[in-house]
Amino acid sequence: MEVEIAKKAAEEMPVIEVSGQLDLSNCHLLGDAINEEISIGNFHLIINLLKVSYIDSSCLGVLLGGMERLKKRGGTLAVVGNPLVDRILTLTGLTRVFPFHSTISDALADIKRAKQKASTSE
């Protein structure tokens, strides 16, 4: 299965954009992209899955692992997805774990709120 992963930015926020089919054979590419962002000090990430046509459980594990690594560094991971991704995250109960959004703008606003909340509680 083919997948494309591109790194972009929205209002200086790192966005990892994924298109195609994510499965066991290629989800390590998503994990690598998340790890690269963490290694350069980007602890607030948006994962854009709007162009994903298939995602399996191994990739959900990659997202969970990335979120845990970011949380340990005071960061956040927001997922932007299409109805297919929303359905899968809802069926697996992961919409209670990940901030899930239907647009990049909504994800940006959510991360900004989380960062502001964290800075006022310090």
* Closest-CA residue to 60 (of 43, 75, 77, 76): 77
CA dist 81 and 101 (Å) reads: 6
Three-class secondary structure of residue 12 per DSSP: coil
Confidence class of residue 115 from pLDDT cuts 50, 70 and 90?
Answer: confident
pLDDT tens by residue, 21-66: 999 999 999 999 999 999 999 999 999 999 999 999 889 999 999 9
Structure tokens at 48: 């854009």
Rounded to two decimals, the pTM is 0.93
Structural domain range at position 67: 3-120
- CATH code for the domain in which residue 59 is found: 3.30.750.24
What per-residue confidence (pLDDT) applies to 97?
86
Number of domains in the chain: 1
C-beta separation of 17 from 3 below 8 A:
no
